[in-house]
Amino acid sequence: MDDQLALCQHKLENQLQQLNDLTLILDAELKALSSRKGDGLKEIAREKLVLLNSIQKLDKELSGFASELFSHEAIIPITKSINEKLLNCKKQNDVNAQAAHQANLAVRELKNILIGAPSSVTYGQDGAVINAEAELVKNIKA
């Protein structure tokens, strides 16, 4: 039983470290999104996916342990930390998803303005909103 406890504790500590690593990746993802520099986003997404797969694999391994192990006094604080870290990661991922959505909307609107899409919105000299009817790019050839 002591070997199982030690192995369980070791796997939980690994999972906690992986969640800490995920927190760092999520922070980097938000910085890349907010700086509007998409260069690193592809690499960050790949790292995030690899780490999530690793966390999921470790979670599956942990599910094979007897449930009594998780009520041991050495394990309880680790599982509590894991649950808190997991909740924080989920919240941060939701924030990142919202930031990505907003960045996408901004890029789409800018594109529509530049190509003079009928639904483009611009501002007049007085600051009033004007729906531009393809007036921004008259007689421009690319």
For residue 45, the enclosing domain spans 1-115
- Which CATH number is 56's domain given? 1.20.58
Specify if 120 maps to a domain. no
Q: So what's the pLDDT on residue 114?
A: 76
- pLDDT of amino acid 120: 52
Has residue 131 been placed in a domain? no
H helix count then E strand count, the chain: 3, 2
- In 3D space, the residue among 18, 36, 22, 16 whose CA is nearest the CA of residue 93 turns out to be 22
Instruction: Indicate whether 57 belongs to any domain.
Output: yes
Instruction: Determine contact, residues 114/137, Cβ cutoff 8 Å.
Output: yes
* Within a domain: 14: yes
Does 29 reside within a domain? yes
- Provide the domain count of the chain: 1
- The answer as to whether 134 is a domain residue is no
- Pairwise CA distance, residues 50 & 21, whole Å: 11
Is 126 a member of any domain? no
Give the C-alpha distances (Å, rounded to integers) separating 65 from 12, 69, 104: 11, 7, 44
In a domain, 140, yes or no: no
Q: Which residues of the chain have pLDDT under 50?
A: 136
Predicted pLDDT at 139: 53
